[in-house]
């Protein structure tokens, strides 16, 4: 769910794409990195959930 949420948030800020390009970065690479970070965060939440024995 987190990657989908990240996509929704990123799309609403698509005008930021111009800033990314102006700074010399590839917007697609920026987006892939953003989604990858969100997946990592999701995995960390699952790990913490198991450690704390919280209901899913």
The per-residue pLDDT for 32 is 86
- pLDDT for 24 beyond 80: yes
- pLDDT for 53 beyond 60: yes
The per-residue pLDDT for 43 is 81
Give the span between the Cα atoms of 14 and 30, in whole angstroms.
12
Q: Which spans in the chain are helix H?
A: 2-12, 16-22, 27-52
Q: Where are the domains of the chain?
A: 2-52
Averaged over 32-36, what is the pLDDT?
A: 82
Averaged over 28-47, what is the pLDDT?
A: 81
- Compare 17 and 13 and report the one with higher pLDDT: 17
Cα 21 to chain centroid, rounded: 19
pTM for this predicted structure = 0.53
């Amino acid at each position: 769910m987190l990657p989908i949420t990240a996509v929704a948030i990123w799309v609403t800020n698509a005008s930021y794409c111009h800033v990314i390009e102006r700074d010399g970065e590839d917007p697609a690479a920026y987006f892939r990195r953003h989604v990858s970070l969100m997946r990592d965060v999701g995995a960390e939440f699952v790990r913490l959930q198991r450690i704390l024995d919280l209901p899913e």
